[in-house]
Amino acid sequence: MANDFLFAEEPEELSSPNRGSWKVLIVDDEPEVHAVTKLALSDFSFQSKNLEFVSAYSGREAKTLIAQHPDAAIILLDVVMESDDAGLLLARYIREELHNHYVRIILRTGQPGQAPERQVIVNYDINDYKSKTELTAQKLFTVVMSSLRSYRDILSIDHSRQGLEKIISASANLFSSHSMEQFIDGVLQQLTSILGCNDNALLANSSLVAGTLNDDADPDRLVVFAGLGEFERKEGKAIQDVLDATLLDAFKQALDSRSIVYRDNYLVAYCTSKFTSGSLLYVSGLPSQITDTQKRLIELFSQNVQIAYENVQLQNEIEDTQREIVYRLSEAVEQRSIETGNHVKRVAFICYDLAKAYGLEEEEAEKLMFASPLHDVGKVGIPDGILNKPMRLQDQEWEVMKTHSSIGYEILKNSKRTIIQAGAVIARDHHEKWDGSGYPEGKKGEDIHLYARIAALADVYDALRHRRCYKSAWTLEQVLTYFDSEAGKHFDPKLVQIFKSRVDKLEAILQKYPDEDDDMRNL
């Protein structure tokens, strides 16, 4: 009875929820070993965290528990259990099958001769080897302390590696909204690792998506831009919805003072900004003592992370400006032919829709959308008398008219910008026909660039559905009949089928961007 009481299982003692705990897996077939180990380490604490014990009484049971507790810091492992080498087989399973190289494995054996130390250390990836007879309470304390320090440092290095991988990956395409989020996520991970804190961190900004320099959002209504730990899936949410009153007060203090606020075991840092109301960085689980070096690191991060974010905004502003210039120039060309600028806008959105339905990637579909307004830029070289003639052109006039595709190509072909290069191809090929009867080169089938095949169908569709100086707007039924007859002749037959399957969505684009004197809306 006394022995039953002495070696009874003790309730697992968890540390405070604020600091967490270190998990120790005890693997031994003797219940007394479990009880004595827990007793000897009952008051153990490292970095304000206590120990959480998980018990397994065989190698087989330990396999299940290790899979359930991949964050175990230490395994106190017996060698001889259900077999003479059960512990050694378990060590090999952990390293070679689970590929867990973080957990510190301390081998404890009551039969040293059964598993010679030199042989075990050489052949198995363990971190310490102790005989049970020499493992006093003090030595157990020492080996657990040293193992936890190693485990902490290994995790810190691994977190740094993961953070650096994200930053390096993001640097290849830094100036886009997606890679900026990845970049900030990596830097947050680096920062939490260097400070030795947990993974609860977030960056809050008054604008979730890059692209607006003059942000009119209420600076007090910040949203989560990037998060780790409990904030990992909170992107886009207002901080009022994810933080408690105490944290909100710290956020307000940091925003009002434009400084770094340290409280208990967390900080809120204001990230300076030239263009917007700034960002706020929150990191929790700080060590009890923050060094001057760590504080300087936080200051540098808060100064520079907003600059990186604003670089994305500036890049998007430049790209938006370039796209607008393309639209404006294309609209100017269309005005010469007594067509409203909404024609190029409609064609652009129609091209994007058809490209996505055809199977093009998002980047390619967007490139086509932004380049398609340049399809008729060569009309700047066509005389007004021919361009706006309200009756059938004479043969000589038609030959002049056909030169606009070559003129457009010559205007655009030497650009180093991908959108302009795509525009050159579209300008040259958008009057080629699937059966080879088009111009300027009589290309046939897939020899015609896909961009041009899509743009040609979009251009003809929009032109037929709207009034021109030489014709009235066609009804949708007339257009569908015409496209059926021209599939495999004028148009790529696959594109015609895609067009017919999406005609309702394409008609919605026409309705959304009508001409001022539109006479097709009721057709």
Residue 340 and residue 318: Cα distance in Å, rounded? Answer: 26
Residue 1 pLDDT: 37
Q: What is the mean pLDDT of residues 111-131?
A: 79
Has residue 141 got a pLDDT over 70? yes
Listing DSSP states for 295-339 in one string gives HHHHHHHHHHHHHHHHHHHHHHHHHHHHHHHHHHHHHHHHHHTT-
Mean confidence (pLDDT) of the chain: 81
**437-447 burial by CB neighbour count: b if 16+ within 10 A, else e?**
ebbbeebeeee
Q: What phi and psi, each to the nearest 5 degrees, are found at residue 376?
A: -110, 25
Residue 201: left if φ>0, alpha if ψ -120 to 50, beta else—which one?
beta
Residue 377 and residue 405: Cα distance in Å, rounded? Answer: 8
Residue 79 and residue 57: Cα distance in Å, rounded? Answer: 12
**β-strand 128-131 against 201-205: which pairing, if any?**
unpaired
Residue 513 and residue 435: Cα distance in Å, rounded? Answer: 32
Which domains, ranges and CATH numbers included, belong to the chain? 2-153 (3.40.50.2300), 173-301 (3.30.450), 337-512 (1.10.3210.10)
Instruction: Write the CB contacts of 78 (distance below 8 Å, at least 6 apart in sequence).
Output: 27, 28, 29, 30, 33, 86, 87, 108, 109, 110
Has residue 173 got a pLDDT over 60? no
Has residue 522 got a pLDDT over 50? no
Instruction: Write the CB contacts of 442 (distance below 8 Å, at least 6 apart in sequence).
Output: 432, 436
How would residue 65 be classed by pLDDT, with cut points 50, 70 and 90? very high
- Eight-class DSSP state of 24: E
Residue 200: its H or E element: none
Has residue 454 got a pLDDT over 70? yes
Range from 281-285, 296-300, 315-319, 464-468 that averages highest in pLDDT: 464-468
Residue 213 pLDDT: 30
Active site residues: 379
Angle at which helices 450-464 and 493-501 pack, to 10 degrees? 50
Percent over 90 (pLDDT), the chain: 41
Residue 215 pLDDT: 41
Three-point CA angle 208, 214, 215, nearest 5°: 35
Residue 208 and residue 59: Cα distance in Å, rounded? Answer: 50
CA-based radius of gyration for the chain:
35
pTM for the model stands at 0.49
Lowest mean pLDDT across 95-104, 110-119, 231-240, 506-515? 110-119
Q: Which two tokens stand for residue 159?
A: 């977190």
**β-strand 74-78 against 21-27: which pairing, if any?**
parallel
pLDDT, tens only, 186-241: 667 767 766 767 667 777 776 433 333 334 444 456 888 778 788 888 888 888 88
Residue 388 pLDDT: 79
Q: Which two tokens stand for residue 222?
A: 């910040």
Distances (CA, A) of 145 to 16, 32, 43: 19, 22, 12
Residue 462 pLDDT: 93
Has residue 386 got a pLDDT over 90? no
Range from 49-63, 407-421, 468-482 that averages highest in pLDDT: 49-63
Q: Which amino acid is at 61?
A: E
Has residue 251 got a pLDDT over 70? yes
CA 153 to chain centre: 28
